[in-house]
Every structure is written in C-alpha cells, then in structure tokens.
Amino acid sequence: MPKLPSLDADTLWSDWRMLCETIGERRAGTVEEARAAGFVAHRLNEAGLDQVAIQLFPCFSLRAAKAEVSEPKGRGWRRVEARPLVGAPSTPGERDVRGELAWLELPEGARALRPGSLRGKILAVFGPLPTSLAIHRQLIAAAPRAVIHVDDRLPFTWAKNDGVYPYWAREHGMLPTVAVPYLDAWRWRREGVTELKVRVAVDFRPAASQNVIAELPGSDPTLPAVVFTAHHDTQCNNVGADDNASGVVCLLALARVLGSSRPRTRLRTVRFISFGTEEQLSVGSSAYVRQHHVTPRDTGLVINFDSVASPLGHFVLSVAGAPTLGRYVAAQLAAGGLDVALQPELTPFSDHFPFNRAGIPSLWFMRTNFPGGRWQHHSGHDSLENVSVAEIQRLLRGVLPLAQTLAARRRWPFPSQLPTTLHSRARRVGRELYG
C-alpha cells in the first residue's frame, strides 16, 4: 500500500498530544470536554468535511470528588487510597461513616442479601459491581452505610475510577460507593480488619456535553450510510490516551484520508461522529440516536473505535450482526494485513450499542491486553507513555480499504439490519441498563 501522508506518525502524535497534553483530562460536561469537541470539529473541517456540526445534549458533570477510606491503626486511623464512583452520592453530610466491615463476593453471594441485613455496616464487594438490576436492588435494600468496591480483575496497588449506570442510580437509588486498591483489600482480609471509616464528598451536577458530527456525502443519498464513531471524553484522574483519545486519533486520520479520495468512488455517505459523555454509559451516543431518529434506513453499519492503542495486546473485533458480517469484515481486514480476534457478541459498554437498540449492526474495534480488558484504563496509567502509534497505523492500514469498499458498494454481502433475535436482545439489555 502506498504511504499515505495522513497516516504519518507525526500527524497522529500531534492530534494525540493536543487531546492528552494540551487539553488533558476531559470529563463529561467540563470546559476541557468542550475544548476537545471544538478541536475535533476543527480537524474535521481541515480534512475537507464541510458539514461539521456540534450537537449539544444534557449530561451530569462531576465537578469535585473526594473519597477517604481509613482502617484502624494502633489507637488511630490510617488512610488508604480511595476513588469515588461517578454517579454515587456523598456520605450523609459529607462526613465519615464508620461501621463493621462485611464482605460480599459477587455475583454468587447476592443470594444471601436480605432487606436491612447489612444495616450500619460497611460492605466490601469483591468482584464486579452488580451486573443485573435485581442484584443492584437487593444491594440497596440490604442498606449498608457505604460500599467499597474491590475490582477482582485488577490485582494492583491503585484503584480505578469507574462510574455507575445513571439509569439505575436515578430510578433505583445508589449507595455511597468507592473503589480501593485490590492489594489493600487483600491485606484487610489477611490481617482480619473488622472495621472501616468511609467518607465521600461529590459535587455532581447538570451540565452540557457535545457530539461532533461530520460527513462525506455519497453520490446516492438513498443508500444507508457507513458511520465511524469514537468518544472524546474521559473518566476522572486520567488523560485517556488509550480510552479514548486513541479512537479519536483514528477517526480523524480516516476522515483525512477518505476526505482526500475522489468522491465518485463513494456511493454511500460516510459519517464521522465523536461522542461526549461515553464514560457514563454512552449518554452522547444515545442522545444522537434519539435526536436524529436513527434507523437502519439511514445508517447501515456503525464502526466504533474505543481503546485501540495498547502496545502489547490483541486486536479484538466485537461484532453485533449476522455471522456473514463478521466473516466478511475479518477477510477484508486480513487482506489489508490486519488479523483480528472475532468476538461475535452484543456488548452494551460502548457507543455502538445505542445503534444496536435501533436495529443497526456494528463493529467495535478494541485492543485488549489481559482477560479483563485493559489494565491501565481509568487510572493515571492511561497516559501517552502507554500507547503505541505503530498499532494505530496497523489498524488504519487494515480499516481503510474496508471503509473504501463499504462506501463504494451498492450491495453489501451481509444484511444491514440486526438479525431479529439480536435486535430484541439489544432492546431488552438496553431497557435494563439504559432505561
């Protein structure tokens, strides 16, 4: 393949540095998130896409957050690192709550939860946080004073910044919840710690967030478009070099290359969207699908880039669609020199999912580096030191010919609608997690 100027490492790094160094952390509803949206819009304009729009939508923004967990030490208390869960409330009066330490191993231990059974206690949850609404509601009803989350995928000395599903917190309530490092929880168990203090003080308020939308019109506007997506927001306390400045860097590079290709080879419209507020469960993508009344008639396939630049890892392609879609795409990518691990499943945890709810198939490109996903995510380790420009170039070299072929073909060798069974599953999962 000839060397394309828009894939040169300097250009990719310059976009990456702008997002992660010049702007930095880009939490939903902040000035920095808006600045990132403005930068993306500017770069899409420069790429020759003239219909660049910014869509505003309401979100919640974490303006200040403080969490403290203390364990008994001699006659006093010793503090351990703790991170508040975005969307969880403060402790009453933003003061310490103190209680006997109880342990719950999820999901298997949920059976033992009874209304009021944990009243007055501090509950340490080992595992994921509740993965079903039923367990979430049982946990709330058990009424512990506060919840400490120990993520069983991350045996580290630091804690991750995560969030709760906004719909669950809004409709079913939420307890003050913090994450602590796995190795501190490990020590509590080993040493038989029986009591803890927790304090959470968060300022979580309504704000505005932005989606950036641009397109390269195809010569036949009646054909459903190919839509490329990424998200420019981050969790707290990190610059999101992989999650997901890496996806935005890809999106911009694709726009530059496709924007400079001759339009007559493009039958279908190619749309580019960078979403805000993904980290609170794809709020921006949901707002886009809702406000634009997106259907399979206008959108044929969504190709989402979220966290694609791990230096060591596997390129995983999560496919929501007919089996022929996965097979076709994997073969096209292989022809472009990119081998991917196919994951034929519906995943509700990135921006393609609101499109699945509308019956649209999707591909999610990611690069994983351990069975739980990406170890560095949602922590200070998700920095420019821990991403690889060479991996992004490899990904783009595989995706570009696929993008050109998809845009040039009147008929695709796979259905541009989700199979009925997958669509009803997307709707069911969507109702439970998103409301």
And the tokens for 313? 């890892």
Site size toward Zn ion, by CB under 5 A? 3
Output the smallest distance, CB 177 to Zn ion, in A: 20
Which residue lies nearer to Zn ion by CB, 181 or 240?
A: 240
Q: How far is the CB of 162 from Zn ion (least distance, A)?
A: 12
The H or E element containing residue 53 is strand 53-73
Least gap, CB of 284 to Zn ion (angstroms): 11
Tell me the closest approach of the beta carbon of residue 247 to Zn ion, in angstroms: 7
Whether 363 contacts 228, CB under 8 Å: no
Which span sits near Zn ion by CB under 5 A: 117-125, 214-222, 300-308, 352-360?
Answer: 300-308
Burial class (CB in 10 A: 0-12, 13-18, 19+), 75: exposed
- Determine if 96 is a binding residue for Zn ion (CB under 5 A): no
DSSP character string of 127-170: SSSP-SHHHHHHHHHH--SEEEEE-TT--SSS----B--HHHHH
- Closest approach of Zn ion to the CB of residue 19, in Å: 13
H helix count then E strand count, the chain: 11, 14
**Residue 274 pairs with which residues in a beta bridge?**
212, 230
Tell me whether residue 162 or residue 306 sits nearer to Zn ion (CB atom). 306
Cis-peptide into 356, omega within 30 deg: no
CB of residue 65 vs Zn ion: minimum separation in angstroms?
Answer: 19
Residue with Cβ nearer Zn ion (32 or 243): 243
User: For Zn ion, which is the closer residue by CB, 247 or 430?
Assistant: 247
Half-sphere exposure of 330 (CA within 13 A, CB side): 16
Least Cβ distance, residue 311 to Zn ion (angstroms): 18
Q: CB-wise, 96 or 306, nearer to Zn ion?
A: 306
Element (H, E) at 62: strand 53-73
Half-sphere exposure of 317 (CA within 13 A, CB side): 26
Name the residue nearer to Zn ion (CB basis): 244 or 362.
244
Residue 372 Ramachandran class (φ > 0 left, ψ -120 to 50 alpha, else beta): alpha
Where are the alpha helices (H) located in 350-419, listed in sequence order?
A: 353-357, 389-408
Q: Is 285 in the site for Zn ion (CB under 5 A)?
A: no
Asked if 215 is part of the footprint of Zn ion (rule: CB under 5 A), the reply reads: no
Residue 306 in contact with Zn ion, rule: CB under 5 A: yes
By beta-carbon proximity to Zn ion, the closer residue of 103 and 349 is 349
Buried b (16+ CB within 10 A) or exposed e, 179-198: bbbbebbeebeeeebeebbb
Site for Zn ion contains 351 (CB under 5 A): no
Q: Interaction with Zn ion in 237-256: which residues (CB under 5 A)?
A: 243-244
Nearer to Zn ion, 256 or 367 (CB): 367
> CB of residue 28 vs Zn ion: minimum separation in angstroms?
12
Asked if residue 161 binds Zn ion (CB under 5 A), the reply is: no
The distance of closest approach from Cβ of residue 427 to Zn ion in the complex, given in angstroms and rounded to an integer, is: 23
To Zn ion, the closest distance from the beta carbon of 129 in angstroms equals 17
| Nearer Cβ to Zn ion (177/350) | 350
Q: Which residues pair with 73 in a beta bridge?
A: 76
- Taking the C-alpha atoms of residue 306 and residue 347, their distance in angstroms, rounded to an integer, is 12
Which stretch, 123-131, 136-144, 174-182, 235-243, contacts Zn ion (CB under 5 A)?
A: 235-243
Residue that has been written with the tokens 């203090």 in this structure? 197
Q: Which amino acid is at 401?
A: P
Rounded Cα distance, 194 and 211, in Å: 47
Nearer to Zn ion, 235 or 417 (CB): 235
Q: Does position 162 bind Zn ion by CB under 5 A?
A: no
- Gap between the Cα atoms of 359 and 320, Å rounded: 10
Residue span binding Zn ion (CB under 5 A) among the ranges 38-46, 166-174, 306-314, 317-325: 306-314
CB of 185 to Zn ion, least distance (A): 25
Determine the interface stretch with Zn ion among 119-127, 169-177, 206-214, 304-312 (rule: CB under 5 A): 304-312
Residues of this chain, 377-416, that bind Zn ion according to CB under 5 A: none
Chain centre distance of CA 63: 20
In eight-state DSSP terms, residue 435 is -
- Length of the chain equals 435
Find the part of the chain contacting Zn ion (CB under 5 A) among 171-179, 301-309, 341-349, 351-359. Answer: 301-309
Does 304 sit near Zn ion (CB under 5 A)? no
- Cα 152 to Cα 372: distance, rounded to the nearest angstrom: 9
User: Nearer to Zn ion by C-beta: 305 or 328?
Assistant: 305
Interface contacts to Zn ion, rule CB under 5 A: 243-244, 306
